[in-house]
Amino acid sequence: MTQDDLKALVGRAVLDHIPDGAVVGVGTGSTVNQFIDALATRKDRIAGAVSSSEASTARLRSHGIRVLETQDVASIPVYIDGADEIDPRGHMIKGGGAALTREKIVADLAERFICICDESKRVAVLGAFPLPVEVVPLAVPRLIRRFAALGGQASVRPGVTTDNGQCVLDVRGLTITDPLALEAEISLWPGVLTVGIFARHRASLCLLGTPGGVVTLDFA
């Protein structure tokens, strides 16, 4: 099976975890695109979706799925999104698609975060994938120095402006053994809008696409 086949597999499998009549939180990325296409086959069984990016919003609406704003809901039962890496405790690195801030906002509304990804995203320790950090451009030089003090090499992702009008730093060379602590520390640095460590908002469940089928990882 190709990587696209595995993404489609988990995109369909996660439909079984969505309650009838629910408003669904929808993430961003290629795996989520497969989920959105699958969700369209059951759009009459949900109340709508809260989207984490303009790209996902456009795809949802193209299928005739109602998109609600965050102010329209106090909470949602489930948020579905992919990951760039996921560790054995459900901590993730996210932001390869530059939607990390809105993804974390929608995840914060959800009772459960269900991660959908292929088996290549499963790691023992986070950090091989460059850590995305959405930042205010004014702070870039200072933040590059702060990451260097942690042993990381940060650089601005070229040609990328987020849906929030900011830039993204990609930080290489980190080995993230305590995701919760590092997420908390970086989040306090002036100029950081969002760090792409999802430890506080870790996955409750992961549906992992493998050549042998979907493997369910439960982190509850």
The CATH number given to whatever domain includes residue 79 is 3.40.50.1360
What does the block give as tokens for 109? 């509304």
What is the residue range of 107's domain? 3-123+200-218
Cβ-based neighbours of 195, under 8 Å, separated by 6 or more = 100, 131, 132, 133, 182, 183, 186, 187
Catalytic residue among 69, 85, 103, 111: 103
Instruction: Residue 138: give its domain's CATH number.
Output: 3.30.70.260
Cβ-based neighbours of 150, under 8 Å, separated by 6 or more = 174
pTM: 0.95
Active-site residue, 134 included:
no
* 45, 17 contact by CB (below 8 A): no
pLDDT tens by residue, the chain, 220 residues: 898 999 999 999 999 999 999 999 999 999 999 999 999 999 999 999 999 999 999 999 999 999 999 999 999 999 999 999 999 999 999 999 999 999 999 999 999 999 999 999 999 999 999 999 999 999 999 999 999 999 999 999 999 999 999 999 999 999 999 999 999 999 999 999 999 999 999 999 999 999 999 999 999 7
Cβ-based neighbours of 181, under 8 Å, separated by 6 or more = none
Residues 12 and 117 occupy one common structural domain: yes
**Total domain count, the chain:** 2
